[in-house]
Amino acid sequence: MFIVFVGVFCWQCNTPSNNRPMPPAEVIDTLKPVNILRFEKDLIQSDTLTATSLAMLRNKYGEFLPLFCKRICPIPMNMANDTILALQLNRFKFDNDIKTIYASVDSVYPNLNVIAAELAQVFALQKLYLQISKPPAVITFLSAFNYAMITTDTMLLIGLDKYLGSDCPFYPGMNYPAFITKRLRSEYILPNAINAMYQRDYSLDSVKDELLAQVVYYGKMMQYTAHLLPQLADSIILGYSKAELDWCLQNETKIWTALIEQQLLYSTNPKQFLKLINDGPTTQGFPDGAPARLGYFVGWQIVKAYINKTQPDSMQKWLNESDAQKILLQSQYKPNK
């Protein structure tokens, strides 16, 4: 099983660009909300688990249950039989900290109706653009803040305790830096889910260790998200505040010039180029106000320019184009002065 771990949603309106086609009316009119299974509710609200009730849980959740036990919430004992496994899960579900976390999850997310409706659009657009006919099973869980998003070949798994809001009283105790905490909000559930699905289907392992190739990879991820969430603000897609996005737009030419003058664009030295990819409070070596992950911003501008210039007849074509140099040249990307 291939697994990707990526350590109430509301749209933020944004005027779609030519790169963000709005969903056809016939797609929207036929949407049905996705059925989201809430494992955390079924586990925590149930009575003490027995081998019999565990079998019922396994029947409902299938391959997710062993994944939860082995990877998300590692069981410290050999799972020789269901009696032992039920014992360990009871220790988890009756732990006072877990019950407190669950109470917060249940308060923030008493239902997932909005997320279910928006996921229906995402999956419908994946089918329309990419011929993905069978959407994944969607399951929520809590893991004591260990995992936010997990994808497998057949499942999309959402750790709701990683989306309790930037002011969640638990997060300071986890020593999360401010640049992380600001994105632990419901607005990021769907873009994070799409990012995780993109990284599952288009592995970074096949991308050259070079800044240009890396920024094009992440630029495609931003555009992939924009295609599937066309009403979502650019700032949320990038994980920026409005002020941070405004800084990038106002300084786009200076950013590009710095990459050229510092000979970073074709650098294969991770110590040089990862500062433009990695998360953090800022991008090292750039002026005050520069947010982290400037490579995501630059890559997105290149990919959008490439799509505008080449007009590929399908989303699959630009996603599958692996030659970053070709994408740059054909994009004719040149920021306005």
Q: Write the pLDDT tens digit of every residue in 114-149.
A: 999 999 999 999 999 999 989 999 999 999 999 999
More confident residue, 21 or 82: 82
Q: How far apart are CA 115 and CA 34, in angstroms?
A: 8
Residue matched to tokens 């925590």: 44
More confident residue, 310 or 20: 310
Q: Is the pLDDT of residue 79 over 80?
A: no
b (16+ CB within 10 A) / e for 65-74: bebbbeebbe
Cβ count near 242 (within 10 Å) = 12
pLDDT of residue 5: 55
Q: What is the pLDDT of residues 214-243, one digit of tens each?
A: 999 999 999 999 999 999 999 999 999 999
Mean pLDDT of 85-92: 92
pLDDT of residue 23: 77
Q: Is the pLDDT of residue 10 over 50?
A: no
pLDDT of residue 22: 76
Q: Is the pLDDT of residue 288 over 90?
A: no
pTM: 0.91
